């Protein structure tokens, strides 16, 4: 059974000016997402600046998200690491804290073989009982998981149920879904490719766009599921200028800027991420105005 269908939000981690996590603001953002009809919340992923959270902060943010959501939508916790033992630790702790599922990224920097990836994910999955979505994002990790490895994991490991595909390679997505025989839930990791992924049999998206436009992202998916493909296509194309602006600098720099432009006051980024370049920020503001967010 799928962890979720539709639009999952890769939620940010708001910070205070001193760099501490802002839990009050985090609760507000979660309420806005649920009010907008979002279908799942993915916490402590790339967009949540997990790479610069301590282990204690990482688990505290997951715990807070589970508490604030209170079972209204699934909470999927990012618990990946380039160290298998660390990934196991974060995953088992997230399960104890009440996460409904896990998003586990391919090990970065190590450049594991396909067999190494298989063993890494199997060891993590064997340590928990909740479902796992694999996260294939070679542009961040320097490591590509092949469709054969994804299918092997989903077929052989009962609680590995799908993949977030952020390869931006629709040919490989098509190959994966053609070979998977229904055993892999595929979620787009590219906001520009939501409808194309759904058209091939994908289950939804894990989205940055949804942070600023939860209703629009949910509705884009729902229109497609309701058979209103032309309307979904139009929504996808309408969102493209905004999506381009949200990725004009490395994520989550632009989306945090967008939230602050909307008056959400989500605070600064943690280094080494820096504030958005003024020229890019102007383009972002203009696209947000055109999209109806400002």
Q: Kindly report, residue by residue over 139-159, the tens digit of the pLDDT.
A: 999 999 999 999 999 999 999
pLDDT on residue 1 = 65
On the question of pLDDT at 2 being above 90, the answer is no
pLDDT on residue 184 = 97
On the question of pLDDT at 58 being above 80, the answer is yes
C-alpha to C-alpha distance for 138 and 63, rounded to whole angstroms? 28
Q: Both tokens of residue 101?
A: 């599922």
Q: Calculate ∠ Cα 206-261-34, nearest 5°.
A: 40
CA within 13 Å, CB half, 272: 2
Q: 35-52 b/e with 16+ CB inside 10 Å = b?
A: ebbbbbbbbbbbbbbbbb
Q: What average pLDDT does the structure give for the chain?
A: 97
Report pLDDT digits (tens) over 233-256: 999 999 999 999 999 999 999 999
Q: Which residues are the active-site residues?
A: 135, 164
Single pTM value for the model: 0.97
Instruction: Give the largest Cα separation in the chain, rounded.
Output: 50
- Residue 214 contacts residue 38 (beta carbons within 8 Å): yes
Q: What is the 3 state secondary structure string of the chain?
A: CCCCCEEEEECCCCECCCCCECHHHHHHHHHHHHHCCCCEEEECCCCCCHHHCCHHHHHHHHHHHHHHHCCCCCEEEECCCCCHHHHHHHHHHHHHCCCCEEEEECCCCCCCCHHHHHHHHHHHHHCCCCCEEEEECHHHHCCCCCHHHHHHHHHHCCCEEEEEECCCCHHHHHHHHHHHCCCCEEEECCHHHHHHHHHCCCCEEEECHHHHCHHHHHHHHHHHHCCCHHHHHHHHHHHHHHHHHHCCCCCCHHHHHHHHHCCCCCCCCCCCCCCCCHHHHHHHHHHHHHHCCC
Report pLDDT digits (tens) over 8-57: 999 999 999 999 999 999 999 999 999 999 999 999 999 999 999 999 99
Q: What domains appear along the chain, each with residue ranges and CATH number?
A: 6-226 (3.20.20.70)
pLDDT on residue 95 = 98
- Candidates 20, 100, 90, 99; CA nearest to 59 is 90
C-alpha to C-alpha distance for 176 and 157, rounded to whole angstroms? 17
Mean pLDDT of 216-230: 98
């Amino acid at each position: 059974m799928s962890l979720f269908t539709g639009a999952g939000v890769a939620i940010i981690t708001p910070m205070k000016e001193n760099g501490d996590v802002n839990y009050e603001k985090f609760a507000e953002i979660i309420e806005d997402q649920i009010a907008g009809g979002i279908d799942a919340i993915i916490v402590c992923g790339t967009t949540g600046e997990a790479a610069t959270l301590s282990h204690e902060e990482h688990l505290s943010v997951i715990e807070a998200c589970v508490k604030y959501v209170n079972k209204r939508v699934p909470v999927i916790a990012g618990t990946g690491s380039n160290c298998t033992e660390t990934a196991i630790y974060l995953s088992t702790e997230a399960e104890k804290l009440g996460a409904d599922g896990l998003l586990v990224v391919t090990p970065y920097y190590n450049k594991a073989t396909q067999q190494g990836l298989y063993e890494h994910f199997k060891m993590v999955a064997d340590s928990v009982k909740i479902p796992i979505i694999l996260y294939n994002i070679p542009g961040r990790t320097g490591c590509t998981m092949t469709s054969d490895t994804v299918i092997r994991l989903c077929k052989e490991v009962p609680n590995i149920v799908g993949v977030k595909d952020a390869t931006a390679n629709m040919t490989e997505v098509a190959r994966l879904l053609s070979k998977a025989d229904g055993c892999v839930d595929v979620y787009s990791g590219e906001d520009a490719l939501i409808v194309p992924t759904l058209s091939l049999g994908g289950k939804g998206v894990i989205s940055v766009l949804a942070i600023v436009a939860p209703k629009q992202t949910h509705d884009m998916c729902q229109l497609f599921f309701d058979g209103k493909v032309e309307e979904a296509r139009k929504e996808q194309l309408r969102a493209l200028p905004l999506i381009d602006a949200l990725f004009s600098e490395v994520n989550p720099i632009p989306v945090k800027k967008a939230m602050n432009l909307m008056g959400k006051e989500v605070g600064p980024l943690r280094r080494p991420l820096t504030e958005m370049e003024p020229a890019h920020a102007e383009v972002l503001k203009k696209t947000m105005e055109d999209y109806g967010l400002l």
